[in-house]
Amino acid sequence: MQTVRVAAGIIWRDSRFLAAKRPEGKPRAGYWEFPGGKQEPGEHIRQTLVRELREELGIACATVLHWQTLSHDYPDLRVVLHFMHVVEFSGDPLPKDGQELRWVTPEEACKLPFLPADKAVINALHYPLRGLNDF
């Protein structure tokens, strides 16, 4: 089974984070996810997130903090996801890949069909994030 390393950004604006809906024509279309993407060879995972958010959303990250790493097996693929909080960025996120974007609270996110690999993270966001106010 192929393994893919992915950087996923939890991009905060006040008490909401940015969710992206996978567009038609992409694998797992219609599911919501945290913006980000696949790591390129020789790239540090933080560099992956910064690059992907610039390419997909047109934003520049100022503060990116690694939070947790999880793996998930789909029938055709294993993904190793590196979740990072993005608490400072410049620019307004734009859907450059045709994805729908929405600012949501953790409670609202529970009602959206997020990718199975993201479900545990959505649940964890309901609890106060230790040190988040210190970012």
Look at the domain 3-126 and name its fold. Answer: Nucleoside Triphosphate Pyrophosphohydrolase (3.90.79)
> What tokens were used for 90?
């410049």
Domain boundaries, the chain: 3-126
Alpha-carbon distances of 4 from 35, 38, 57, 61, 108, rounded to whole Å: 16, 7, 21, 23, 28
State pTM to two decimals: 0.89
Pairing of strands 32-33, 60-74: unpaired
What's the pLDDT score for residue 115? 92
Could you count the other beta carbons within 10 Å of the beta carbon of residue 102? 14
Residue-by-residue pLDDT tens, the chain, 135 positions: 899 999 999 999 988 999 999 988 887 878 999 999 999 999 999 999 999 999 999 999 999 999 999 999 999 899 999 999 998 999 999 999 889 999 999 999 999 999 998 988 998 887 655 444 444
Cα–Cα distance list, 75 to 8, 40, 70, 90, 129 (Å): 21, 23, 17, 37, 32
**103 in helix, strand or coil?**
strand
